[in-house]
Amino acid sequence: MLQDNLCCNPIESKGSLLESLRIRPMNRLAIALLLAAALFSLPLSADQTRITFSDPAGDITPDEGDAHPIDIVGVDLSSDGEFVVVAVTLAEPPMPTSLFQALVAGVAFDVDNDRKSGGQGFGGMHGDVPGIDFESEIISSVEDGAVSTSSAASVIGVDARGNQSNVLTSSDAPSTPAKGKVYTGKIAYTSLGVQSGQTIRVIARELNDRGEQHGMFSDALLTLK
């Protein structure tokens, strides 16, 4: 899983690096390698209001009988002052015939950004994901095997032992119409007990990726608008 946006202001660092490089004669390849190392070593910002990830197509293991498995190629995390917005780009539009096949993505929320509180995310079944207070499932509409036309999000409480409670709400906002291959879930601030200006930890997961990382994207620190 790759995070596309790096730290806020790499331009200044890159400029100073170029100035120092002019002092020594180096070939273009060496300069390019140094620049790449400098940029990719920058730490992630702790107060990003929008975070995007990319993921290769075809890295999933679909369930037997699922002719149109969901394959994530991008995740966009943002907020709008009322909802946390999770927009998921798929390799192909989903065509589920059941609610299980309609599950687009899993999302875990550490709303106080404290790994020592909360419980294990995703039921503790997919590696160590501590500090989780709520989870959500982004769900596409079931259109009797036709292409899903919209999507919504559930909200699920997580206790200190990592047990999932009953679903707090099956749809935390009106369904969002699909835009091409993008399916979006909105989770209300009020459901998560959060407010504007608060930084929360968010972990998205590709449910059909059963590889070594269990489909887990990197932790994202999202500051809410």
Q: What is the pLDDT of residue 39?
A: 38
Q: What is the pLDDT of residue 28?
A: 53
Q: What is the pLDDT of residue 199?
A: 97
Q: What is the pLDDT of residue 47?
A: 56
Q: What is the pTM of this model?
A: 0.77
Q: What is the pLDDT of residue 209?
A: 84
CA dist list (Å): 74 to 53, 89, 205, 215: 5, 5, 11, 12
The rounded Cα 35 to chain-centroid distance in angstroms is: 27
Q: What is the pLDDT of residue 40?
A: 34
Q: What is the DSSP string of 164-200?
A: EEEEEES-SSSPEEPBTTEEEEEEEHHHHT--TT-EE
Q: What is the pLDDT of residue 214?
A: 78
Identity of residue 108: A
Q: What is the pLDDT of residue 18?
A: 36
Q: What does each of the 225 residues of the chain score in pLDDT, given as a tens digit?
A: 655 544 443 333 334 433 443 434 445 544 444 444 333 333 344 459 999 999 999 999 887 778 889 999 999 999 999 999 999 999 999 999 999 999 999 999 999 999 999 888 887 677 789 999 999 999 999 999 999 999 999 998 887 776 665 555 556 678 999 999 999 999 999 999 999 999 999 999 999 887 777 789 999 999 999
How many Å apart are CA 54 and CA 132, to the nearest integer? Answer: 23
Q: What is the pLDDT of residue 152?
A: 94
Nearest C-alpha neighbor of 217 from the set 66, 79, 51: 51
